[in-house]
Structure 1
């Protein structure tokens, strides 16, 4: 599932391509992907200009010149492609937006995700439960530690809870825990204060590095794209079961915590 680095990569790549351009056509291949009848959705978008693209956690918001928003969540398996011709069959894309320069934005794999047209107030209401962005200046290390201290249970399920901090999912929760040298299954009440502060530093380090490398998703964004997905080979523990730990050489292990997979090094990651 796309997380903070993947969605911020999309935001950065999309902004110079679609901002200032007008939507001239909209194709919808799956009505359940949108939140209103196809004809209404198409009529409302055609002629609208994209002013800017914003990211909130794992969401993208396309701000339109009529004051409305397109709220996108890719969920599991979703992706974006930009160009005149699709990377895959058109049937694999649930929504296709054509712009006044002839280019198209393809929204693929949205059978679990969605692209909803909302008012500014409606979008704000939908996102009101999100926690702070990992790089929000108000989210300092002590504030993060305090928010974490109010939680119970295991660490990983809390790290992926979007009410704690928005944008972290299964992949980067494991990578953050590895960088901070703490087990994903560690009990939060037993974490030392220094460990909580270390988790904060690791969170920012891991997410920033992943975004700088294009995230871990391996689907091209454009025909000649060689950037998106560049971080996949740089993950230390996620989906690396059985491989040697890059820090100590012990085999990476995969276990379950609260019905979620967790990848970790049993030798150099501690429970507190």
Structure 2
């Protein structure tokens, strides 16, 4: 009886797997926020901003869309990987370098914390007659992350006060016009009553007053709607300008980091050739 060949089944792919480009964007967004907080812990709203930055470039579908929790878990995984790489490079006393693409950036961000957490312990054994040569591990230069200036919010109370002033002026003018018309109608009514037609004139006067108040109300509401539409247009334009400015800041930061990475790469290759 011959061997039965079992067809190979494709390996399952995790839904939350991260590409190298998405991980690079995540490290950049997290690093900026981490430095802004003076190397403190990020809160939930900070992680949400990091997730928004990642999704702006890579969250084009359901599989690549990231939540704040997924971003935090990915950073924790990258930190653990960095600690392993850091220990491997340090134990080699400068004879090895890490080929992991995120090592330099993590070393600049959290390298000092890792080195200070693990202090060298004193050996209880007596020193040898001939001390072994000690070679200090070269410390890579810190990555200069450009400062990011967030745009200031436009003060909304100025627009609201402008709308209130215009609306109040229109309402006051309408009330003054209505009061003047009412006084004029009162004088006409008094003259008509002297002739014996006071009741009919009073009804006509009331109808005219109601009609004028309706016209005034319509004008005031129209002015109010116009002011609200103008205010909404200004707010929408401000939101659009703010988003464009944020994208420009993000792209400028990416360009600066890429230049630093290339400069470090060219410097390393020059030392090796020498």
TM-score of the superposition, structure 1-length normalised? 0.29
The answer to which structure has the higher helix fraction is 2
TM-score of the superposition, structure 2-length normalised? 0.28
Q: Which has the larger radius of gyration?
A: 2
Larger RCO (CA under 8 A, 6+ residues apart): 1
